[in-house]
Amino acid sequence: MKKWLPYLLPVLLPAGVILSCSGPGKRFNQPVTSALALDSTTLGISTVAEGLNVPWEICWGPDGHIWFTEQSGTVSKIDPVTGEKQLLLTIPEVYRHRSLGLLGMAVHPTEPYVYLDYTHRNPDSSIVSRLVRYTRGNDTLTDPKILLEFPGNTGHNGSRVIIGPDGKVYFSTGDAAHDEFAGDTAKLNGKVLRLNADGSVPADNPYPGNYMWSRGHRNIQGIAFTDNGQLFASEHGDATDDELNHIQKAAYYAWPHIEGFADRADEKAYADTFPFTPPVMAWTPTIAPAGIDYYNHPAIRDWQNTILLGTLKGASLHVIRLNDARDSVLDEKIYFTQQFGRIRDICVSPEGDIYLATSNRDWNPGKGFPIPADDRIIRLSPIRDAKGLTMLPGPAAAPATPVAKGPAIYKSYCEACHKADGKGVPGSFPALDQSKVVTGKPEALLNILLNGSKSSATEQMPAFQFLSDDDIAAVATHIRSSWGNKANAVAPEAVKSLRKPAK
Ligand code: HEC
């Protein structure tokens, strides 16, 4: 996600380096296999690395290589020209399970440090998140120093780490499924934290002696600086409202009280008493946003001054155009839907090539994935001639054919967890295809849909209060009559009678 000091590169690189890389596909060993035509640029698509196991973080290293973490606990680098791969470090303390493992990484541009964050399981089975600093030598990472250790959980551990233009370490954390931690200034969870390179608290942080930079976050999955120093973060919402936030010093983002914009009556009332910073974008149905990077290179003029955002559930690349001040969003286009599967992270090379990391060997792959080559690092690089190449479709339009309501709601709100075939994910999301709750008395089913359920130790079923009576009845009817289930339909009136009276 991070670039190697993009603001300095034009000065650091001899002009010849930039000029020599105009030959379409020639400067790389890997063949260009397909292409995407934008208005003024054609992008060639090639696979730089395959057979990886959830490359969680990809970033441009000081040596012109792509540095990457894999979720099980390794740090490697790859030469983007030859595809040659080198393992740098294995961290045995990493606990990988579902969304947990070795996550973010940042290579400091001016200090000899690499920052890594991962989850660890203690002998008593409690889970912690750690931010660890390694000293970078000639292809070595040594002398690990734990800078922060704080509560983790079986989900919602974030996280990303990035070095700011001020040389400080910015580290985004998840709420560890304790939503009360997010607003609490005394807790490290649900925050963007800011540290000096040595791990101490910067003197100009908002609260003296406190790592907190911003608070009220649920589960940040992507973080990037623009060229004028604005910080953005992508964040997973609950059942609704994934967000893109413009992160500002001391700002409060109000999770769990406000999801997305303050558009519900209870959210408006809360915002009247507790001023909060709304997101610059929110997505309902959710897309599961992941890694982001800022793009402003003339190599791909169509995408200048944009945030590039990879999505997991959406399995796509969102290109989000910013205003000149880079503090609000002008528009959004969506590319590659379902083409490569889940996209976990993005990085941009000094030449303006874009690299995407797939995440199809994680715990929740989409239909048809992983393919044998997964996981991959894929390159998008301008080419002059797309003759003979498969052309990929342009940006996604709104769904053209209206689908029946029940299946559509299921697809938007339920399928990410319970899956298209209703079989769920063993150990995480229950199957609905032979569930007695689904086919039994409507009242119990509707109560779960309206109010959610937290009886499972690991995952929660979100509450769907925000859907209309019609929508809940439609999705309930759909799951009662799919995958071999044969229970009768549910009427909207049945939903209405179960809603809690307004406070
Ligand atoms: C974020 C993941 C997630 C989403 C999205 C989700 N669920 Fe669930 N669902 C769960 C989990 C986890 C449970 C188990 C909860 C528990 O045991 O407390 C569950 C339980 C259920 C159950 C009870 C099943 C049983 O046999 O006990 C039903 C029915 C159900 N969900 C239907 C739905 C429907 C319909 C939707 C969409 C409107 C939906 N879920 C969306 C995670 C999800």
Query: Using CA positions, which residue lies closest to atom 8 of ligand 1?
Result: 461
C-alpha–C-alpha distance, residues 344 and 205, integer Å: 30
Of residues 254, 303, 338, the one with CA closest to residue 38 = 303
Tell me if 480 CB under 6 Å of ligand 1: no
Do 367 and 469 have their domain in common? no
Nearest ligand 1 atom to the CA of 428 is: 12
Last residue of a domain, one of 391, 422, 449: 391
Do 464 and 358 have their domain in common? no
Candidates 409, 412, 418: which one to mutate for ligand 1, based on the most atoms within 8 Å of Cβ?
A: 418
Do 361 and 464 have their domain in common? no
pLDDT at 17: 34
Do 281 and 207 have their domain in common? yes
Nearest ligand 1 atom to the CA of 410 is: 37
Nearest ligand 1 atom to the CA of 239 is: 5
pLDDT digits (tens, 9 = 90+) for 244-260: 999 999 999 999 999 99
Tell me if 105 CB under 6 Å of ligand 1: no
C-alpha–C-alpha distance, residues 3 and 56, integer Å: 15
Tell me if 34 CB under 6 Å of ligand 1: no
Do 421 and 315 have their domain in common? no
C-alpha–C-alpha distance, residues 110 and 396, integer Å: 41
* 232: number of Cβ within 10 Å: 25
Query: Using CA positions, which residue lies closest to atom 7 of ligand 1?
Result: 461
pLDDT digits (tens, 9 = 90+) for 50-109: 999 999 999 999 899 999 999 999 999 999 999 999 999 999 999 999 999 999 999 999
| C-alpha to C-alpha distances, 93 to 56, 96, 113, 142, 199, nearest whole angstrom | 17, 10, 19, 15, 20
Going from the Cα of 20 to the center of ligand 1, the distance in angstroms, rounded, reads 54
pLDDT at 134: 98
Domain of 157: which CATH number?
A: 2.120.10.30
Structure tokens at 122: 């203690």
Task: Confirm whether 104 is domain-assigned.
Answer: yes
Do 362 and 414 have their domain in common? no
Do 328 and 352 have their domain in common? yes
Given the DSSP bridges, would you call strands 390-391 and 32-37 parallel, antiparallel or unpaired?
parallel
Q: How many domains would you assign to the chain?
A: 2
Query: Using CA positions, which residue lies closest to atom 23 of ligand 1?
Result: 437
Of residues 485, 475, 490, the one with CA closest to residue 410 = 475
Do 387 and 419 have their domain in common? no
Do 257 and 148 have their domain in common? yes
Candidates 238, 405, 417: which one to mutate for ligand 1, based on the most atoms within 8 Å of Cβ?
A: 417
Task: Confirm whether 249 is domain-assigned.
Answer: yes
Tell me if 453 CB under 6 Å of ligand 1: yes
pLDDT at 489: 87
Given the DSSP bridges, would you call strands 113-121 and 127-136 parallel, antiparallel or unpaired?
antiparallel
Do 445 and 359 have their domain in common? no
Do 373 and 409 have their domain in common? no
In the predicted model, residues of the chain with pLDDT beneath 50 are 2-25, 399-401, 502-503
Query: Using CA positions, which residue lies closest to atom 36 of ligand 1?
Result: 414
Query: Using CA positions, which residue lies closest to atom 11 of ligand 1?
Result: 461
Of residues 200, 183, 311, the one with CA closest to residue 250 = 183
Query: Using CA positions, which residue lies closest to atom 31 of ligand 1?
Result: 461
Do 416 and 385 have their domain in common? no
Tell me if 413 CB under 6 Å of ligand 1: yes
* 325: number of Cβ within 10 Å: 9
Domain coverage including residue 492: 405-498
Tell me if 438 CB under 6 Å of ligand 1: yes
Helix (H/G/I), strand (E/B), else coil: 283: strand
pLDDT at 1: 52
pTM of the model: 0.80
Tell me if 435 CB under 6 Å of ligand 1: yes
Secondary structure (DSSP) of 176-232: TT-GGGTT-TT-STTEEEEE-TTSPPPTTSSSTT--EEEE--SBEEEEEE-TTS-EE
Last residue of a domain, one of 359, 391, 423: 391
Task: Confirm whether 16 is domain-assigned.
Answer: no
Tell me if 418 CB under 6 Å of ligand 1: yes
Task: Confirm whether 26 is domain-assigned.
Answer: no
